[in-house]
Amino acid sequence: MRDQAIVTRDPEILGGAAVFRGTRVPVKALFDYLEGGETLEGFLRGFPTVSRDLAIAALEEAEALLNSQA
């Protein structure tokens, strides 16, 4: 998964918001779901174009970024 981009930005897709690769689903939606108390499974049911692997990779990338800030 690391050899391919997890997140992409394109001014033609959702005004350039960060979306999961190959979808129109904003990455922020995953964090909003989790912040609202939903599970990863709930998010995946709501956004079936996002694979479990892609969602987990995005979470791992965010964790690595946060850990590098410490």
pLDDT tens digits, one per residue of 22-66: 999 999 999 999 999 999 999 999 999 999 999 999 999 999 888
Q: How many structural domains compose the chain?
A: 1
Would you state the pLDDT for residue 5? Answer: 87
The pTM for the full model equals 0.85
Neighbours of 2 (CB within 10 A): 8
In a domain, 2, yes or no: no
User: Which residue(s) pair with 13 in the sheet?
Assistant: 10
Q: How far is CA 43 from CA 37, 66, 67, in A?
A: 11, 22, 24
- Domain coverage including residue 45: 7-69
In a domain, 39, yes or no: yes
Domain CATH for 37: 1.10.10.10
Question: Residue 69: pLDDT above 80?
Answer: no
In a domain, 1, yes or no: no
User: Which residue(s) pair with 20 in the sheet?
Assistant: 7
In a domain, 46, yes or no: yes
